[in-house]
């Protein structure tokens, strides 16, 4: 069965029986596969949905993951009645997924919107910061213990380093020799990269319900006025630290270049974007932050960047099993770009810390 037929079949299982017009592949994310499926309704009007094929190599228990998402989206819908929201469709037997062989499918409403991989308009960046800050606040009273950990130790940087060390040792794809420089850099900054994890283990940073994958392209903006409508990609909503959300967002949005830019020397943190995102994010969250959370917020950007570099590098060494790659060496290109960004962040840390303090004062 080709993909066209397969997607049509999946849609029928989600009780969409209208005329199937076809699908478009949506470039979204490095882990799941996403398709926009288009229908013509009986009245002649078009209607689209999003169908995703969940990567079960990354998410070992997708059924529990869907349970998380169901509860989280319901919680958010209750906080914002009447507003644009994500709805997962159900099958005849009330499941939010369809399993066929190794494939795990789900379906949501399609929200007409704009997304950005890089943003140079500071109002839009600020809106994204507000959206992730608001998301964080909406889940502040969510029962943390009811959440299944979809990827255990997702932002446990110590564990990520252990994984990298194991991949180096195993050298499955025979690539370790060519990446000595990258290995050396990452191992040299290990303790500073693990600072959030260590502070949390010592009981000095509180757990919250966090999104954990706060790339700016996970915010849907209104095509009318670029206001942020909704935060998507809830697969990794789990207990986490505030710095995981802030740091990952900056890592992605405030980089001068895209995260897989082959010209790594061009990577670096744009302080104007950093400030705009921090203003938006902290306008929502500053009042709830502990002193230690504020103190480590700028550092969290370095932490998340170095951590992702260990993940890309480990995957490169393993033979590209986890992240989808577009060409041979893609994971190494990503690693180098993250390392260059991390180095620049270390240089600019005092300025980033000052901006955080300014934004916290302004928001209080």
Residues binding ligand GN1 (CB under 6 A): 29-31, 58, 213, 233, 235-236, 259, 308
- Choose between 213 and 270: whose C-beta lies nearer to Mg ion: 213
Task: Give the nearest distance from C-beta 158 to ligand GN1 in angstroms.
Answer: 17
58 binds, among Mg ion, ligand GN1, none (CB under 5 to 8 A by kind): ligand GN1
139, 72 contact by CB (below 8 A): yes
- Choose between 199 and 237: whose C-beta lies nearer to Mg ion: 237
308 binds, among Mg ion, ligand GN1, none (CB under 5 to 8 A by kind): ligand GN1
Task: Give the nearest distance from C-beta 31 to Mg ion in angstroms.
Answer: 6
Question: Looking at beta carbons, which residue is closest to ligand GN1?
Answer: 29
Residues 6+ apart with CB under 8 A from 327: none
Task: Give the nearest distance from C-beta 131 to Mg ion in angstroms.
Answer: 15
CA distances from 256 to 28, 119, 313 (A): 20, 10, 21
- Choose between 129 and 247: whose C-beta lies nearer to ligand GN1: 247
Question: Looking at beta carbons, which residue is closest to Mg ion?
Answer: 213
Chain residues that interact with Mg ion, rule: CB under 5 A: 29, 213, 233
Task: Give the nearest distance from C-beta 85 to Mg ion in angstroms.
Answer: 19
271 binds, among Mg ion, ligand GN1, none (CB under 5 to 8 A by kind): none
- Write out the two tokens for 121: 């308009």
- Choose between 233 and 315: whose C-beta lies nearer to Mg ion: 233
Task: Give the nearest distance from C-beta 40 to ligand GN1 in angstroms.
Answer: 31
Nearest to 154 by CA among 31, 39, 263, 275: 31
- Choose between 235 and 270: whose C-beta lies nearer to ligand GN1: 235
Task: Give the nearest distance from C-beta 153 to ligand GN1 in angstroms.
Answer: 12
255 binds, among ligand GN1, Mg ion, none (CB under 5 to 8 A by kind): none
Task: Give the nearest distance from C-beta 111 to ligand GN1 in angstroms.
Answer: 17
136 binds, among Mg ion, ligand GN1, none (CB under 5 to 8 A by kind): none
3-state secondary structure string, the chain?
Answer: CCHHHHHHHHHHHCCCCCEEEEEEEECCCCCCEEEEEEEECCCCCEEEEEEEECCCCCCCCHHHHHHHHHHHHHHHHHHCCCCCCCCECCCCCCCCCEEECCEEEEEEECCCCECCCCCCCHHHHHHHHHHHHHHHHHCCCCCHHHCCCCCCCCCCHHHHHHHHHHHHHHCCCCCCHHHHHHHHHHHHCHHHHCHHHHHHHCCCCCCEEECCCCCHHHEEECCCCCCEEEECCCCCCEEECHHHHHHHHHHHHCECCCCCCCCHHHCCECHHHHHHHHHHHHHHHHHHCCHHHHHHHHHHHHHHHHHHHHHHHHHHHHCCCCCCCCCCCHHHHHHHHHHHHHHHHHHHHHHHHHHHHHHHHHHC
225, 184 contact by CB (below 8 A): no
- Choose between 39 and 135: whose C-beta lies nearer to ligand GN1: 135
- Choose between 235 and 245: whose C-beta lies nearer to ligand GN1: 235
30 binds, among ligand GN1, Mg ion, none (CB under 5 to 8 A by kind): ligand GN1
- Choose between 279 and 307: whose C-beta lies nearer to ligand GN1: 307
Task: Give the nearest distance from C-beta 261 to ligand GN1 in angstroms.
Answer: 13
- Write out the two tokens for 129: 């910061």
- Choose between 155 and 208: whose C-beta lies nearer to ligand GN1: 155
Task: Give the nearest distance from C-beta 257 to ligand GN1 in angstroms.
Answer: 14
């Amino acid at each position: 069965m080709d993909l066209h037929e397969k997607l049509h079949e999946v849609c029928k299982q989600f009780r969409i029986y209208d005329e199937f017009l076809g699908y478009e592949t949506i470039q979204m994310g490095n882990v799941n596969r996403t398709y926009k499926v288009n229908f013509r309704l009986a009245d002649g009007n078009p209607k689209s949905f999003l169908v995703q094929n969940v990567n079960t190599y990354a998410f070992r228990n997708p059924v529990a993951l869907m349970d998380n998402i169901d509860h989280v989206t319901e919680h958010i819908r209750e906080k914002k009645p009447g507003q644009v929201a994500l709805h997962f469709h159900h099958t005849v037997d009330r499941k939010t997924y369809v399993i066929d062989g190794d494939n795990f499918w789900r379906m949501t409403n399609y929200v007409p919107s704009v997304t950005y991989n890089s943003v140079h308009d500071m109002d839009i960046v600020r809106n994204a910061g507000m959206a992730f800050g608001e998301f964080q606040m909406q889940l502040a009273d969510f029962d943390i213990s009811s959440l299944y950990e979809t990827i255990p130790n997702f932002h446990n940087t110590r564990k990520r380093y252990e994984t990298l060390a194991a991949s180096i040792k195993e050298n499955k794809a025979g690539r370790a020799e060519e990446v000595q420089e990258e290995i050396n850099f990452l191992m040299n900054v290990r303790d500073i990269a693990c600072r959030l994890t260590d502070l949390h283990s010592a009981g000095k940073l509180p757990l919250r319900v966090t999104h954990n994958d706060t790339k700016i392209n996970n915010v849907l903006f209104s095509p009318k006025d670029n206001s942020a409508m909704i935060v998507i990609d809830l697969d990794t909503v789990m207990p986490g630290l505030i710095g995981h959300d802030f740091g990952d967002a900056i890592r992605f949005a405030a980089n001068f270049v895209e995260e897989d830019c082959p010209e790594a020397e061009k990577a670096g943190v744009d302080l104007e974007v950093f400030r705009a995102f921090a203003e938006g994010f902290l306008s929502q969250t500053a009042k709830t932050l502990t002193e230690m959370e504020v103190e480590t917020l700028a550092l969290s950007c370095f932490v998340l960047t170095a951590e992702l570099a260990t993940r890309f590098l480990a995957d490169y060494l393993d033979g590209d099993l986890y992240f989808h790659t577009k060409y041979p060496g893609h994971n190494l290109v990503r690693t180098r770009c993250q390392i260059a960004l991390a180095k620049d962040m270390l240089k600019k840390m005092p300025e980033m810390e000052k901006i955080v303090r300014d934004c916290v004062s302004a928001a209080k």
